[in-house]
């Protein structure tokens, strides 16, 4: 067990019948488990940052919209029905703690927007407003495991190195996207209509966000699975380099 990398996973927050509940789609957990990680759900409470100090990586999952105050914009199409102030605050704290610890971070869907906002970039609040004539349906109606649009991957990026190709077909369940990536970060993939589909921070630490949902594809698609494998490998490397077991040779 001591060598199994532990990945903290952010959770969605919904209010049902007046009662808040945190939940996690099991596809995220399944994809991490298949890649050899122990997935730990991070509840939307401030103490989750304490739990993150026991983790070797942070997975930022999909979900609702962020408050536009957090990237200094007025309301330009935010879907308030999906907004959770607790989740916004917890994920910002988790990213700050992950950065302090030097943890690998993988962001998916909302998670790429979390990375953009958390590290000083901006997002498009509603693609339908900024690209009303796009032929691409970023909020696809097809099943989650079905790919529906292409993305072009920028050669030389971490993402291109992982996938070994520059064109990919992806699924798509988002009405927001990254506008300006954080300073010093790279756009790693674009849809044909110019929507940003992946960003990453250059450097030694695995910090990558994708706008599509590889967790839904990973059971059937080797390239989608590879994103999780490489992230978990980075977490395992973090664990080896940081966990010192004084006296115990485990
Ligand atoms: Mn898309």
Give, in degrees to the nearest 5, the angle at Cα 31 between 230 and 218. 85
Q: Dump pLDDT digits (tens) for 22-51.
A: 999 999 999 999 999 999 999 999 999 999
- Strand segments, DSSP code E, in 11-145 are 12-16, 19-23, 38-42, 57-60, 105-108, 123-124
Catalytic member of 27, 97, 200, 215 = 215
| pLDDT of 2 strictly over 90 | no
Catalytic residue among 27, 109, 174, 200: 109
CB–CB of 25/77 below 8 Å? no
Q: Token match 């990453």: residue?
A: 200
The reply to whether 149 belongs to the active site is no
DSSP structure class, residue 84: -
Asked if the model's pLDDT at residue 201 lies above 90, the reply is yes
109 flagged as catalytic? yes
Determine the pLDDT at residue 243: 79
Q: Give the pLDDT score at 249.
A: 46
Would you list the DSSP string of 202-224? -SSS-EEEESS-HHHHTTT-HHH
Position 247 confidence tier, pLDDT thresholds 50, 70, 90: very low
CA of 54 to the centre of ligand 1 (A): 33
Percent of the chain, pLDDT > 70? 97
* Cα 136 to ligand 1 centre (Å): 8
Ligand 1 geometric centre to CA of 192 (Å):
10
User: What integer is the mean pLDDT of 4-8?
Assistant: 98
pLDDT at residue 126, as a whole number:
98
Residue 213 is a catalytic residue:
yes
Residue 55 has a pLDDT of 98
59 CA distance to ligand 1 middle (Å): 19
233 Cα–ligand 1 center, Å? 26
Is residue 76 within 8 Å of residue 129, measured between CB atoms? Answer: yes
Neighbour order of strands in the sheet with 57-60: 38-42, 6-10, 57-60, 105-108, 207-210, 196-200, 186-190, 149-153, 167-170
Domains and CATH numbers, the chain: 6-242 (3.40.50.880)
- What pLDDT, in 10s, does the model give residues 56-97? 999 999 999 999 999 999 999 999 999 999 999 999 999 999
Supply the pLDDT for residue 171: 98
Residues whose CB falls within 8 Å of the CB of residue 187, separated by 6 or more in sequence, listed in order: 154, 178, 181, 196, 198, 199
Statement: residue 166 has pLDDT above 70: yes
Entry pTM: 0.96
């Amino acid at each position: 067990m001591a060598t199994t990398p532990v990945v903290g996973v952010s959770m969605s927050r919904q209010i049902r019948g007046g009662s808040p509940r945190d939940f996690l789609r099991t596809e995220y957990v399944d994809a991490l488990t298949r890649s050899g990680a122990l997935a730990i759900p991070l509840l939307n409470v401030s103490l989750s940052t304490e739990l993150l100090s026991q983790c070797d990586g942070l997975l930022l999952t999909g979900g609702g919209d962020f408050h536009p105050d957090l990237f200094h914009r007025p309301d330009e199409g935010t879907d308030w029905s999906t907004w959770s102030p607790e989740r916004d605050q917890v994920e910002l704290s988790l990213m700050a703690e992950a950065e302090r610890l030097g943890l690998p971070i993988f962001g998916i869907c909302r998670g790429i927007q979390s990375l953009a906002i958390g590290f000083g970039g901006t997002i498009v609040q509603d693609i339908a407003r900024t690209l009303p004539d796009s032929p691409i349906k970023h909020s696809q109606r097809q099943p989650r495991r079905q790919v529906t649009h292409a993305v072009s991957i920028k050669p030389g990026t971490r993402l291109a190195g992982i996938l070994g190709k520059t064109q990919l077909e992806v699924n798509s369940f988002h009405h927001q996207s990254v506008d300006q990536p954080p300073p010093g970060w790279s756009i790693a993939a674009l849809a044909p209509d110019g929507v940003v589909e992946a960003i990453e921070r250059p450097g030694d630490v695995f910090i990558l966000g994708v706008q599509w949902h590889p967790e839904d594809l990973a059971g059937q698609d080797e390239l989608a699975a590879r994103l999780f494998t490489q992230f978990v490998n980075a977490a395992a490397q973090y664990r080896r380099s940081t966990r010192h077991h004084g006296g115990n040779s485990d």
